[in-house]
Each structure stands twice: as C-alpha cells, then as structure tokens.
C-alpha cells in the first residue's frame, strides 16, 4: 500500500470519528433536554391531601322535584360529566353533605379517571336533603341525562382523593351571605337519589343559616 492510499484511508477514519463524536454530543443534548421536560412535568403533579371511599349515585339537570333544577347550591349552572369530557365545562358538579367540604373543593374519582383514561376535575358545589348527615359517605355526580345517571361505575363504590389546591388559588370561592330556601319536609319518592329543592332552578338562591 502506497503512502497516498494510507493517507486517504486514515483521512476517512478521522472524518468518521469526528462525525460520530458530533452525533454523540447532539444525542446527549437531546437527552438532557428530555430530562428537564420530565422534571418540569413532575412539578405540576397534583397534591392529594386525603382519600376516602364513598357510595356514588348520579343525577342530572332537570326541573323535576326528583332531580331538583339546573343550578348548584349557590345558583351557578350545574356542569355535567359529559360537558367536561367534550371540553365545554371546566369541571364536573358533584353533590355531598354541605358540611363535608367547602364549596368548590376539588376531588379526583379514581374509577372514573380509569374508565375514561384521563384526569377529570370534580368539584363539590351542590348538596341536597338526601346527603344531610352523610358526611363523605355519599356522593352524587352530575350527568347529562337520566340514562347517563344510571352508569354502573357512577352507581358503585368510589375511591376519591381530595386535591390540595392551596398553592394554586385554592378551591372555588363561595359568594358571601348565600342562603338556600327551606326544603320541603314531604317524603322523597322511593327512587330519589339527589332530592334537591326545586328552588335551585331559580338564578338567585339563598342558604339556610
């Protein structure tokens, strides 16, 4: 092999080594960037303050005495699970004992997150006579219609997490001096699930002291 061929061969090897080094450096840069992104994502994870189990039922916005109207306990429109899934609502309204959580407290329902394969924002914004004195043992989930309210997952034992939002503005604020009208003392129908007052269908509602 003459000196010219040797120079050409070693020249090619050197060029190849330089190219491989460049690729390695670029790969390392991408790896570092991916790591930073992963760290950033983990910092946005939600914080759970407590967990509990509750028996679930479903209800839907309707003017009947059984369902109780179209508004939550302070007169805001009810938000359904289907509205949230379609992107037309920021959260799903749920009803519980009014003494269990502050208005607007965020909950996560593990069974429903698993069923729909995404994080769903539930907020405690409603209540009713059926939940009085039940604490965290009962939860009613707002759905689009009667058929949706009978979903087998909703009407079962649910595992819930209370989401701590104190670092990001906290729960939804409730207007001051809100009072609900007195609820009827008549017995609810046998199939009653939610049993809210029909007065919640009016825009302005007040809460008992």
* Per-residue confidence (pLDDT) for residue 184, from 0 to 100: 35
- Is 142 within 8 Å of 80 (Cβ atoms)? yes
CATH topology of domain 47-201: Barwin-like endoglucanases (2.40.40)
Dihedral sign (CA 206, 81, 54, 140):
positive
Residue 82 CA to residue 88 CA, distance in Å, equals 9
- Look at the block and give the residue holding tokens 């994870």: 45
* Per-residue confidence (pLDDT) for residue 107, from 0 to 100: 98
* Per-residue confidence (pLDDT) for residue 187, from 0 to 100: 35
Buried b (16+ CB within 10 A) or exposed e, 94-118: bbbbbebbebbbbbbbeebeeeeee
* Per-residue confidence (pLDDT) for residue 2, from 0 to 100: 52
Each of the 209 residues of the chain gets a pLDDT tens digit; together they read 554 454 444 455 455 554 555 554 444 444 333 333 332 233 346 799 999 999 999 999 998 877 889 999 999 999 999 999 999 999 999 999 999 999 999 999 999 999 999 999 999 999 988 899 999 999 999 999 999 999 999 999 999 999 999 865 444 444 333 333 343 333 333 334 455 533 344 333 333 33
For residue 35, the cross-strand partners are: none
* Per-residue confidence (pLDDT) for residue 137, from 0 to 100: 97
Its pTM stands at 0.63
Domain boundaries along the sequence of the chain: 1-45, 47-201
* Per-residue confidence (pLDDT) for residue 47, from 0 to 100: 92
């Amino acid at each position: 092999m003459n000196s010219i061929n040797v120079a050409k061969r070693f020249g090619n090897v050197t060029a190849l080594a330089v190219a491989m080094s460049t690729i390695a450096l670029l790969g390392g840069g991408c790896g570092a960037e991916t790591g930073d992104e992963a760290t950033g994502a983990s910092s946005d994870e939600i914080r759970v303050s407590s967990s509990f189990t509750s028996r679930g039922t479903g209800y839907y916005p309707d003017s009947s005495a059984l369902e109780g109207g179209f508004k939550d306990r302070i007169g805001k429109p009810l938000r359904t699970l289907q509205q949230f899934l379609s992107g037309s609502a920021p959260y799903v309204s749920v009803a519980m004992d009014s003494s269990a959580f502050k208005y607007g407290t965020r909950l996560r329902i593990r069974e429903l997150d698993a069923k729909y394969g995404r994080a769903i924002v539930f907020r405690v914004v409603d209540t009713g006579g059926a939940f009085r004195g039940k604490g965290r043992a009962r939860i009613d989930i707002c759905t689009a219609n009667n058929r949706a309210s009978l979903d087998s997952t909703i009407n079962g034992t649910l595992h819930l997490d209370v989401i701590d939002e104190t670092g990001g503005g906290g729960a939804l604020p409730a207007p001051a001096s809100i009072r609900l009208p007195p609820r009827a003392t008549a017995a609810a129908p046998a199939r009653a699930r939610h049993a809210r007052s029909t007065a919640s269908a009016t825009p302005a509602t007040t809460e008992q002291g």
